[in-house]
Amino acid sequence: MKMDRFSRQTILPELGRKGQEKLHSANVLVVGAGGLGCPAILYLAAAGVGTIGIADGDHVTLQNLNRQVLFGIDDLNSKKPAAAAKTINRLYPDINIKVYNCYLTVENAHEIVPSYDLIIDGTDNFASRYLINDAAVLFEKPLVYGTVFKFEGQIALFNGGRGTANYRD
């Protein structure tokens, strides 16, 4: 990791070099590389998170380019995780990107989720949200949930530790 890149962060007493090193050793899984997942992936990389997993089975489409900030015209019809990884690798070559060109499912969650420290839910449907929550609870991972409807958004942390709420609560 090139610490010079993060010098503006490391001068903050609340973060410092030690905190930046913790970010670099972190593993975060982003499920959904759309309007919520794209900015999350971009800012995780910009913060210096060392490993970012991206899981999504969808393709880049023209009508979503204005909301999905990691993609451009050249990415049309590409799988979203692969296209997102290409952009992040160009901007932040020190970040390790793990690409899962598939939806998170009951069948593959056991293979994908355990190696991550944190899960970010960037999906847009209840079935996916419940599945992601259940995987987070099963593997004892904190889950950051976000949702947007028209001009309003919500964010919450679930499964943050013993006795804390999860999405099903």
Element containing residue 156 per DSSP (H, E):
strand 152-158
Q: Identify the pLDDT of residue 163.
A: 82
- Model confidence at 3: pLDDT above 80: no
Exposure string of 26-43, with b = 16+ CB inside 10 Å and e = fewer, is bebbbbbbbbbbbebbbe
Element containing residue 29 per DSSP (H, E):
strand 27-31
33-57 pLDDT, tens per residue?
999 999 999 999 999 999 999 999 9
Which of 97-106, 114-123, 142-151 has the least mean pLDDT?
142-151
64-91 pLDDT, tens per residue?
999 999 999 999 999 999 999 999 999 9
* Residue 89 CB coordination number (10 Å): 14
